[in-house]
Amino acid sequence: MSETKEIHIPLGPSPEKWDLLSKGIDPFGDQMILQMGPQHPATHGVLRLELKTDGEVVTKITPYIGYLHRCFEKVAESVTYPQVIPYTERMDYLAGMNMALSYVLAVEKLREIEVNDRVETLRVLVCELNRIASHCVAIGTFALDIGAWTPLLYLFQVREHILDLLEELSGARMLFNYIRIGGLAHDIPTGWIDKVREFCTYMDPKIPELNGLLSYNKIYIERLAHVGVMSQDVALQYGITGPNLRATGFDYDMRRDAPYSGYEKYDFQPQIGAGEQGTPGDCWDRYIVRVREMEESLKIIRQACDRMPEGDVKETIPKSLRKMPEGEVYVTTEAPRGELGIYLVSDGTDKPYRVKARSGAYCSVAAVPAISLGGLIADLVAIVASIDIVLGEVDR
C-alpha cells in the first residue's frame, strides 16, 4: 500500500519578496515574466521565449533554444561519410534536399569529384521543388499565426503535390536521402519530368490566388507593415542570410553571387524587399519576398525541365569512401531559411573528423530580441513567424 502524498505547490512570491512586499515595495514592478513556449502554438516547434511584459507590451525577450538538440555534429563524427546524409536532412526537415545538397557538395569538394550535368540539373530541380514546399509551410503558418486559417490549407495542397512528386522520386516524403555523394540515389522514373511540368501549370494561378486572399488583405497589411523592422545593419551584424536578409533590401543570393551545382546557367531574379507597404525589412516584406521567391523557383524548375541533359546519375559515385583526402572544406548553399554552411574536416579516415553546420535559422532566432522590443505580444508572434525558423535546424 502506497500512501497518498500531498503535493505541495508553492504559490505566490518567495519569502524574500514577501519581506519587500510587507515594506510596501513592489518587487515585481508593473512587469510580468511570461514563458512563451516551449509548448506554445506560435513558436513553430520547441522554442522558448522568456518575455517580460508590461501589459501587452513586450519589454524584454530572451530566446532559449536546445529543446530539439539531437547532436548532429557529434553524431556526424562517429558515422561514415555517406551515413551523415540522413542526419543532415533531419536538420531542416522541411527542406531535406537543400540540407543534403550542402553536405554532399562539401564532401565532393573534399574528394574533388566533378559530377555530370544531369546530376547537377536534377539536384537543382529537386532543391527548388523543396524550396517551394518549404516556403509553403512558412507562409501558411505565418498566416495561421496572424489568425487566417484558410491559406495554410491552400498552401498545403500545393506542398502535397510536391511531396507526391518527391515521393515518387525518392520513396520518402520529407527525409529523402536522394542526393548522394558523387551523384544521386537513382535516376528519375519515366514521365516524371512531365509531371513536374504539370505541377508548374497547376502552381501558376495559385500565387495570384494567395495574393488576392492574403497578401494584399487590408487587415493583414495593417498587422505586418512597420512591424519588426530589421534594418540592414542589424541583419548584417547578426549574420542574417536568405529571405530575411533580402527582405531588408540587401541584394544577396548565394545562387546568383556564388553559384554552385550549376545555378549560373539559370535565369532568375533574387527578390528583395522594398518596403512597399511599410518600412523595408518589416514583416510584410519578409512575407512577400518568400511569395515572390516561389515564383522565381518555379522559373528555375521550368528551365531545369527544359534543359534536362542525358547522362548517368551514378557515373561519378565513388566506389569506396574509406580513404578520404586529409584537409578541410567549407561549402555554403542557399537553403530556404538562409545560408547553410558545412565545414568539414577530414583526417583521412572513413569518418569525418568534424562537421560544423552554420544555419540561417539559428542566426534569425538570435535577432528576434533586437527587432521586436517594445511591440505587443501579437507583434512578437508575427515576428517569430516572419523570420521562419525550423527548430530542427536551429538546435541541430
Partner 1 sequence: MIALEPYLDLIISVVYVVGIVLFLSLFALFATWLERKVAGHIQDRLGPMETGGWHGWLQPIADAIKLLIKEDIIPAAADKKLFKLAPYLVFIGSLAGFAVLPFAANLIGSDLNIGVYYVIAVTSLVVIGILMAGWASNNKWSMYGAMRSAAQMISYEIPVALSLLIPVMMAGTMSMVEIVDNQAGGFWNWYVFRTMPFSLIAFVIYFWASLAEVNRAPFDLPEAESELVAGYFTEYSGIRWAMFFLAEYGDMFVVSAIAATVFLGGWYAPFPFLDIIPGPIWFIGKTAFLVFVQMWLRWTLPRLRVDQLMYVCWKIFLPFSFANLLLVGLWVVLKG
Question: How many Å apart are CA 336 and CA 252, to the nearest integer?
Answer: 14
Exposure on the CB side of residue 257, measured as CA atoms within 13 A: 13
Question: How many Å apart are CA 43 and CA 20, to the nearest integer?
Answer: 35
Give the nearest distance from C-beta 160 to partner 1 in angstroms. Answer: 11
* Identified binder of partner 1 from the candidate list 225, 291, 305, 377, rule CB under 8 A: 377
Closest to 63 (Cα-Cα) out of 393, 292, 284, 391: 391
Residue 148 as a binder of partner 1 (CB under 8 A): the answer is yes
Question: How many Å apart are CA 250 and CA 111, to the nearest integer?
Answer: 34
* Identified binder of partner 1 from the candidate list 20, 113, 258, 378, rule CB under 8 A: 378
Please work out the total of residues on this chain that contact partner 1, with binding judged by CB under 8 A: 32
Give the nearest distance from C-beta 219 to partner 1 in angstroms. Answer: 5
- Nearer Cβ to partner 1, position 47 or 340? 47
- Nearer Cβ to partner 1, position 64 or 156? 156
Give the nearest distance from C-beta 195 to partner 1 in angstroms. Answer: 21
Window 163 to 202, contacts with partner 1 (CB under 8 A): none
* Identified binder of partner 1 from the candidate list 1, 4, 5, 9, rule CB under 8 A: 9
- Nearer Cβ to partner 1, position 217 or 231? 217
* Identified binder of partner 1 from the candidate list 64, 67, 93, 154, rule CB under 8 A: 154
DSSP-based helix, strand, coil % in the chain, nearest 5: 50, 15, 40
* Identified binder of partner 1 from the candidate list 153, 164, 204, 348, rule CB under 8 A: 153
Q: Are 121 and 307 in contact (CB under 8 A)?
A: yes
- Nearer Cβ to partner 1, position 41 or 171? 41
CA–CA distance from 373 to each of 51, 127, 231, 235, 280 (Å)? Answer: 10, 35, 14, 16, 18
Cβ-Cβ contacts under 8 Å for 6 (sequence gap 6 or more): none
Question: How many Å apart are CA 126 and CA 174, to the nearest integer?
Answer: 12
Give the nearest distance from C-beta 301 to partner 1 in angstroms. Answer: 23
Which helix or strand (DSSP H or E) is residue 209 part of? Answer: helix 206-210
Window 37 to 76, contacts with partner 1 (CB under 8 A): 40-42, 56
- Nearer Cβ to partner 1, position 42 or 76? 42
Beta bridge partners of 341: 332, 358
Cβ-Cβ contacts under 8 Å for 52 (sequence gap 6 or more): 31, 32, 33, 34, 58, 59, 60, 61
Residue 379 as a binder of partner 1 (CB under 8 A): the answer is yes
Give the nearest distance from C-beta 154 to partner 1 in angstroms. Answer: 7
Residue with cell 546530376: 119
Torsion of CA 329, 339, 233, 362, to 10 degrees: -100
Question: How many Å apart are CA 218 and CA 209, to the nearest integer?
Answer: 16
Site string for partner 1, 195-224 (x = CB under 8 A): ------------------xx--x-xx-xx-
Question: Edge-to-edge strand order for the sheet containing 327-335?
Answer: 327-335, 338-346, 352-358
Residue 367 as a binder of partner 1 (CB under 8 A): the answer is no
- Nearer Cβ to partner 1, position 213 or 308? 213
Give the nearest distance from C-beta 33 to partner 1 in angstroms. Answer: 9
Give the nearest distance from C-beta 393 to partner 1 in angstroms. Answer: 21
Dihedral sign, Cα of residue 174, residue 204, residue 252, residue 112: positive
- Nearer Cβ to partner 1, position 42 or 84? 42
Alpha helices in 79-116 (DSSP H): 81-89, 96-111
Select from 153-161, 198-206, 270-278, 326-334 the region that touches partner 1 (CB under 8 A).
153-161
* Identified binder of partner 1 from the candidate list 30, 112, 149, 267, rule CB under 8 A: 149
For partner 1, the binding residues (CB under 8 A) are 7, 9, 11, 32, 34, 40-42, 56, 143-150, 153-154, 157, 213-214, 217, 219-220, 222-223, 376-379, 381
